[in-house]
């Protein structure tokens, strides 16, 4: 009886893994990263897609913002984001790779969430507060990603790539800090008065 239960349990586990692979829930073994280098390269493709997507999303945030400091911060970060795309292309070059984007589901979701906030709020300080919140979620994702990629690059001995990734990491942290200043200094206080 025990052998039959174990066999059935293994078959169910195997069927679950097969179904998950077919639906894309888990990668098939041939598509899975087999080492840190592949994981690093996959992460670069992911954040490359994310940064390119942000060059389209940030202008929409700028268009929907009303606070001049928020608009200025977003415009500055748009310029940085465009430079970050170029910097990532240099990292790919250092890795002897063609710059390739792989859809970043996390960033796609964060951008969509930001779009939803803008659609569900009226033009003004409440929307500005929502744009800051959405932008900071994006910044935090980027900070986590660039910190990880920089560490992978260092571990793999890609010193120049690590320096480029560190430069972007510093920009992302500065952008997050600036958004906090704009929120605390004016936007959130004014938005609270709308209640």
Mean pLDDT calculated for residue range 160-168? 98
Q: Assign 44 to helix, strand or coil.
A: helix
Model pLDDT, residue 193: 87
Q: Are 138 and 111 contacting, i.e. CB atoms less than 8 angstroms apart?
A: yes
Q: Are 183 and 74 contacting, i.e. CB atoms less than 8 angstroms apart?
A: no
Residue 191 pLDDT exceeds 60: yes
Residue 120 pLDDT exceeds 80: yes
Mean pLDDT calculated for residue range 170-189? 95
Residue 150 pLDDT exceeds 90: yes
- Tell the residue number behind the tokens 């984001």, with chain if given: 81
Model pLDDT, residue 34: 78
Residue 99 pLDDT exceeds 60: yes
User: Where does 24-67 have alpha helices with state H?
Assistant: 36-64
Give the pLDDT confidence of 4-41 residue by residue, as tens digits: 555 555 555 555 445 444 444 444 444 555 799 999 99
Q: Are 92 and 100 contacting, i.e. CB atoms less than 8 angstroms apart?
A: yes
Model pLDDT, residue 21: 46
Give percent of the chain with pLDDT exceeding 90.
Answer: 78
**Residue 195 to residue 190: CA distance in whole angstroms:** 10
Model pLDDT, residue 37: 93
Mean pLDDT calculated for residue range 134-155? 98
Residue 157 pLDDT exceeds 50: yes
Residue 148 pLDDT exceeds 60: yes
């Amino acid at each position: 009886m025990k052998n039959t239960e174990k066999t059935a349990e293994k078959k169910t586990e195997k069927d679950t893994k097969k179904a998950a692979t077919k639906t894309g829930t888990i990668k098939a073994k041939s598509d899975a990263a087999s080492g840190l280098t592949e994981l690093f390269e996959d992460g670069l493709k992911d954040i490359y897609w994310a940064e390119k997507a942000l060059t389209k999303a940030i202008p929409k945030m700028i268009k929907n913002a009303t606070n001049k400091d928020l608009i200025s911060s977003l415009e500055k970060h748009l310029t940085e984001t465009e430079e970050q795309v170029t910097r990532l292309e240099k990292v790919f070059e250092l890795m002897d790779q063609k710059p390739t984007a792989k859809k970043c589901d996390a960033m796609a979701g964060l951008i969509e969430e930001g779009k939803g906030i803008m659609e569900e709020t009226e033009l003004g300080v409440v929307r500005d507060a929502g744009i800051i919140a959405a932008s900071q979620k994006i910044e935090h994702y980027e900070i986590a990603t660039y910190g990880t990629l920089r560490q992978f690059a260092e571990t793999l001995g890609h010193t120049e790539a690590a320096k480029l990734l560190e430069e972007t990491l510093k920009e992302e942290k500065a952008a997050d800090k600036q958004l906090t200043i704009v929120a605390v200094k004016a936007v959130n206080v004014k938005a609270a008065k709308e209640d």
